[in-house]
Amino acid sequence: MSRETVIQDLKKYRQKHPNEAGVVDRLVEFVREQEDCFERSLLQGHVTGSVWLVDPSGLNVLLTHHRKLNKWFQLGGHVDGNSNVLEAARREAEEESGLQHLSVIEPGIFDIDIHLIPGRKLEPEHYHYDIRYAFQALGSTEYHVSAESLDLKWVPIDQIREYTTEESMLRMAEKWKATQTMNSQQTQAEILESIIRARKTDKITCEIEDRRPVPDERQKHGKATVLHSLEVAGWAPFHYPSNDKNIHEPWRAYVLWDDEVSQLLRELTNEHRFKQSKLQKLTAACSALVLVTWIPEQRAEIKEENRNKINEENLAAAAAMVQNFLLMLTAHGMSNYWSSGGDLGKSDVFELLGIPKQQRLIAAVFIEYNDMKNLQPHKTCAPGKHRDKRSTNWIQQTRIH
């Protein structure tokens, strides 16, 4: 991002909020004229980034009781040279609250405010040109209070006046309530679209010796969410039932909770069965692992041609189930990664896990429960490979030739 991008975003905001044109114009002029506008070293003032952070219900906003100013504010702070104000604001909010899975509700600017910061010993009186974005905490709402705050609190938006009389905060509350009224008209299609677009690969890894158990209170919520997500995922379409008369679906899911993952890691490492260190590191970092298999057609009386067709369709159905599962995990704010599974698909591992040998592994889904980042900061996270290469070029509106 650049100063020009920020100016363009401000112009879009101006169109949406013509009654705020005066303050928008001051901000645009400041960004246009001051090359160092994102640096706190610019003593006359600087751009700052804030977050109007609501909980999953949208009814409460997270406020911080500011240590230096002794007042309740939204989260946010200096952008420290980052012209991507949205990302800088998100980083500040995460640092101040310890929350993760903060999802931007709308990438456009939510509110702006220019306010005077009183002078202190080391810095003169100056302006903050504050650009605010609306975010929602999709995962856990359990925050931690950083050194910058006296306290943090989820404040019911209807009761915000009990915490502040700041005009700009009351304005944000009103703006939020207005969007909520509009959002209640958000269609199911729009909600579904946002979840599909939000799903992404998080390859979370750590060294084996750094594996830590998932705390009990997270286990309970984590297990319930994973099981529920699987149950919902099972509404994927399928054509051919499996031969097991009790289980129609042509897929199976084998769930390994935290203890079993640790055990599997020990077994496979001791036996030198894990040749791929990436797989070891993924296993070491996950909170739960779900192996999804599909069931090939075995009956000899079925002609090969038909058998191939059935197998293709069973594989396709199992893939639909896996995608449903990833979407559910995403909607619940859990990180996930669909891997082919490498050595996990081998017959000795299947035997170890009691998976019938004729089944075929289609997905090893590595899951990290919500809010583990702060508990296990030694983990690293990498994105999937194709994230930035998506296009719509694969859609062909075919004509009859």
Ligand X SMILES: Cc1cc2nc3c(=O)[nH]c(=O)nc-3n(C[C@H](O)[C@H](O)[C@H](O)COP(=O)(O)O)c2cc1C
Q: Kindly give the pairing relationship between strand 72-78 and strand 251-256.
A: unpaired
- From the CB of 384, what's the least distance to ligand X, in Å? 2
Cβ closer to ligand X: 274 or 338? 338
Contacts (CB under 6 A) with ligand X, residues 225-254: none
Cβ closer to ligand X: 200 or 220? 200
Cβ closer to ligand X: 16 or 386? 386
Instruction: Tell me how far apart the terminal alpha carbons of the chain are, to the nearest angstrom.
Output: 45
Query: Does 366 engage in binding with ligand X (CB under 6 A)?
Result: no
Query: Does 384 engage in binding with ligand X (CB under 6 A)?
Result: yes
- From the CB of 266, what's the least distance to ligand X, in Å? 22
Q: How many CB atoms lie within 10 A of CB 343?
A: 15
CA distance 367 to 334: 7
Residue where the block lists tokens 């020009």: 4
Cβ closer to ligand X: 176 or 338? 338
- From the CB of 248, what's the least distance to ligand X, in Å? 23
Contacts (CB under 6 A) with ligand X, residues 328-347: 337-340
CA distance 163 to 351: 60
Nearest residue (beta carbon) to ligand X: 384
- From the CB of 386, what's the least distance to ligand X, in Å? 4
Residue type, 86: L
**Where does residue 257 rank: exposed (0-12), middle (13-18), buried (19+ CB within 10 A)?**
middle
Query: Does 200 engage in binding with ligand X (CB under 6 A)?
Result: yes
Query: Does 385 engage in binding with ligand X (CB under 6 A)?
Result: yes
Selected from 197, 245, 357, 387, the binder of ligand X by CB under 6 A is 387
- From the CB of 385, what's the least distance to ligand X, in Å? 4
- From the CB of 211, what's the least distance to ligand X, in Å? 20
CA distance 27 to 112: 9
Residue where the block lists tokens 């931007």: 104
Stretch that binds ligand X, among 20-28, 36-44, 133-141, 381-389 (CB under 6 A): 381-389
> Phi-psi category of 152—alpha, beta or left, where left has phi over 0 and alpha has psi -120 to 50?
beta
Output b/e per residue, 221-241; b: 16+ Cβ within 10 A: ebbebbeebbeebeebebebe
- From the CB of 374, what's the least distance to ligand X, in Å? 23
- 12, 21 in Cβ contact below 8 A? no
Selected from 121, 386, 399, 401, the binder of ligand X by CB under 6 A is 386
Query: Does 183 engage in binding with ligand X (CB under 6 A)?
Result: no
The gap from C-alpha 245 to its chain's centroid, in whole angstroms, comes to 39
Query: Does 177 engage in binding with ligand X (CB under 6 A)?
Result: no
Query: Does 324 engage in binding with ligand X (CB under 6 A)?
Result: no
Q: For residue 68, what are its two tokens?
A: 């230096």
Output b/e per residue, 371-380; b: 16+ Cβ within 10 A: bbbeebeebe
Query: Does 275 engage in binding with ligand X (CB under 6 A)?
Result: no
CA distance 141 to 124: 37
Cβ closer to ligand X: 13 or 337? 337
Stretch that binds ligand X, among 41-49, 83-91, 119-127, 377-385 (CB under 6 A): 377-385
Query: Does 121 engage in binding with ligand X (CB under 6 A)?
Result: no
Residues in contact with ligand X by CB under 6 A are 200-201, 337-340, 383-387
